[in-house]
Chain A
């Protein structure tokens, strides 16, 4: 097991190197000079030269890449032209907010999507099935930013029951940077409630598409179990319906649901960008979008790498969960 995990972690390295190379080459092809953009139109040639020198832009591109790559493994992601700080510091500040939002989104999506999928499959072609399917189809098709705006309008402006901007005003003592977790750890009830109130609308807007996908996959996998022999056997033994459905069928349907959850993390992170913009959520999105506008090389490459890394780690975690649920999957072979 441990050997397998180490092996999987090692597979991340080529992906990160490939991704960093791709991003590095792309960023060097950028039209427009970030140094000029930063210093403004009145900068003298010597000022521009000095800053380019400071950023190491006069070295050959191979050496620049090599320096960057070795920097990554030292935790040095280079200086951000826009903020003037090390990108690692900027990311450490903004990453927890995005991570908290995405994790909360996944939890909502799974907590709602799996039961709906089960209901939909066991009431196949009856009205609950139709209602749930229409919900899931619209959930996949609705742009997350439209849903975010609608929820803001309804719950924020018209009903006035939920805040629509930011992460909250009462902050817990910072331990992990995840406000909800920190407030539980420090026993700060007020901060927890405030954080919860602030995260609920963004997280719901973020989770709908994923929730719909999870529901769809749960439904179709449950359906594929319906006519299997072991279900027939369990039923003829006289086992109660809900035990057959929840303990037998769902367990077998669950592995593919897990795959989808792993894959959906990607779209959640992607959608987090629009959601953070709508809700003024102080995460990586705002930071990277500004970085993109300012052609801030180092921050663009680094944000992409962090997301790539997160994505890879999540997929490994999903694989490990697999073996826990499905004993047929022997990890390590």
Chain B
């Protein structure tokens, strides 16, 4: 036995984590994604501190400063009520990020158990759950979300409910497929042989094997959920003014095109940057965790 292998000590958890992080950011695009996401999160958290005109997030009017183009004083210009667009865009990060987090939390809480049960129990249970997801996915998610949001009366909370309502089936499908893949592995048989209950096997043995795929899915979906929420806001079926939600800011500013282009373009760019950030980060995680491209 060589001296090397005698001295070999496996990496501690912390060391392994560090290595993974270094590997993740070796890809420049993933790093860019991380930076974009980081900036958006910081903007959201620190909005009350960095926003130059925190009063602009409400419905107040400032008739003296309406429709001002971008300048040193108002770097993104002002809108039809004289509010500072930069401050509103900063606060908008809070709504979009919470939209993503809330929707994905709900979708995972509903979707993952259903997917595990469908995949592991199989038979009739599987048929019922999967046919239900088929029904939900028979129309594009955004249209399902629009209908539910309108039914509940559009506002910030109801939009979150509506998007969650249309999102969980994707998670169920993903987890069900993944469960089917690992279901017949030996460690599952071992668990069953050791007398573990079905629930114990599903949630204790299969679920941990689905975590990476769920993490990747959740990261990429963050971007798409935010995009869906913004589209609903844009159509008037999401968060309502004066809430500085990016989608409804674009819609409000659109009336004043082409002259006051800054009123719709800046909030729109904020959506673009956020979605791009999450997509790039999601792609990087997918490569790192070696999850198949779905």
- A137 touches B (CB below 8 Å): yes
> What is the minimal beta-carbon distance from B172 to any residue of chain A, in angstroms?
15
Main secondary structure of the interface of A (DSSP, over half): helix
- CB < 8 Å neighbour of A143 from B139, B227, B261: B227
List the A side residues contacting B231 at CB < 8 Å: 143-145, 270-271, 273-274
**Interface 9-mer from A12-20, A175-183, A322-330:** A12-20
Q: How far is the CA of A269 from the CA of B237 in the complex (A)?
A: 17
Q: How far is the CA of A304 from the CA of B150 in the complex (A)?
A: 13
Instruction: Report which residue of B135, B146, B148, B268 has the largest number of chain A beta carbons within 10 angstroms of its beta carbon.
Output: B135
**Interface 9-mer from B51-59, B73-81, B250-258:** B250-258
Do residues B140 and A141 form an inter-chain contact, with CB atoms below 8 A? no
Do residues B257 and A273 form an inter-chain contact, with CB atoms below 8 A? no
- CB < 8 Å neighbour of A153 from B136, B257, B271: B257
List the B side residues contacting A143 at CB < 8 Å: 227, 230-231, 234, 247, 250, 268, 271-272, 275
Q: How far is the CA of A274 from the CA of B148 in the complex (A)?
A: 17
Residues of chain A from 26 to 43 with CB closer than 8 A to chain B in the complex: 26-27, 29-32
- B141 touches A (CB below 8 Å): yes
Nearest opposing residue in chain B for A152, CB measure: B257
Q: How far is the CA of A277 from the CA of B247 in the complex (A)?
A: 13
**Interface 9-mer from A89-97, A245-253, A289-297:** A289-297
Do residues A153 and B151 form an inter-chain contact, with CB atoms below 8 A? no
- B280 touches A (CB below 8 Å): yes
Do residues B276 and A15 form an inter-chain contact, with CB atoms below 8 A? no
Do residues B275 and A141 form an inter-chain contact, with CB atoms below 8 A? yes
Do residues B142 and A149 form an inter-chain contact, with CB atoms below 8 A? no
- B143 touches A (CB below 8 Å): yes
Q: How far is the CA of A302 from the CA of B152 in the complex (A)?
A: 19
- CB < 8 Å neighbour of B151 from A26, A278, A312: A26
Q: How far is the CA of A30 from the CA of B153 in the complex (A)?
A: 8
> What is the minimal beta-carbon distance from A65 to any residue of chain B, in angstroms?
15
Residues of chain A from 93 to 151 with CB closer than 8 A to chain B in the complex: 137-138, 140-146, 149-150
Known contacts A143-B227, A149-B250; A270 and B142 CB within 8 A of each other: yes
Do residues B265 and A267 form an inter-chain contact, with CB atoms below 8 A? no
- B279 touches A (CB below 8 Å): yes
Nearest opposing residue in chain B for A269, CB measure: B140
Q: How far is the CA of A295 from the CA of B148 in the complex (A)?
A: 11
List the A side residues contacting B261 at CB < 8 Å: 153
Do residues B140 and A267 form an inter-chain contact, with CB atoms below 8 A? yes
Do residues B131 and A137 form an inter-chain contact, with CB atoms below 8 A? no
Do residues A30 and B279 form an inter-chain contact, with CB atoms below 8 A? no
Q: Per-residue CB proximity of A195-213 to B under 8 Å, as 1/0?
A: 0000000000000000000
Do residues A292 and B150 form an inter-chain contact, with CB atoms below 8 A? yes
Q: How far is the CA of A16 from the CA of B153 in the complex (A)?
A: 25
Residues of chain B from 144 to 173 with CB closer than 8 A to chain A in the complex: 144, 146-148, 150-153
> What is the minimal beta-carbon distance from A271 to any residue of chain B, in angstroms?
8
List the A side residues contacting B29 at CB < 8 Å: 137
> What is the minimal beta-carbon distance from B40 to any residue of chain A, in angstroms?
12
- A44 touches B (CB below 8 Å): no
Do residues A295 and B254 form an inter-chain contact, with CB atoms below 8 A? no
Do residues A18 and B146 form an inter-chain contact, with CB atoms below 8 A? no
Q: Per-residue CB proximity of A295-331 to B under 8 Å, as 1/0?
A: 1000010001001100110000000000000000000
- CB < 8 Å neighbour of B153 from A32, A144, A269, A274: A32
Pairs across A and B, CB under 8 Å, 5 listed: A18-B135, A141-B227, A149-B268, A292-B147, A292-B150
Give A residues with C-beta under 8 Å from B. 14-16, 18-19, 22-23, 26-27, 29-32, 137-138, 140-146, 149-150, 152-153, 156-158, 220, 266-267, 269-271, 273-274, 277-278, 288-289, 292-293, 295, 300, 304, 307-308, 311-312
**Interface pairs A-B: 6 shortest CB-CB:** A146-B268, A292-B150, A18-B135, A270-B140, A141-B276, A270-B142
Give B residues with C-beta under 8 Å from A. 29, 131-132, 134-136, 138-144, 146-148, 150-153, 223, 227, 230-231, 234-237, 247, 250, 254, 257-258, 261, 264-265, 268-269, 271-272, 275-276, 279-280, 293
Instruction: Other than A142-B272, A146-B264, A149-B264, give 8 A-B pairs with Cβ distance below 8 A.
Output: A18-B131, A19-B138, A143-B231, A146-B250, A146-B265, A149-B265, A292-B146, A311-B140
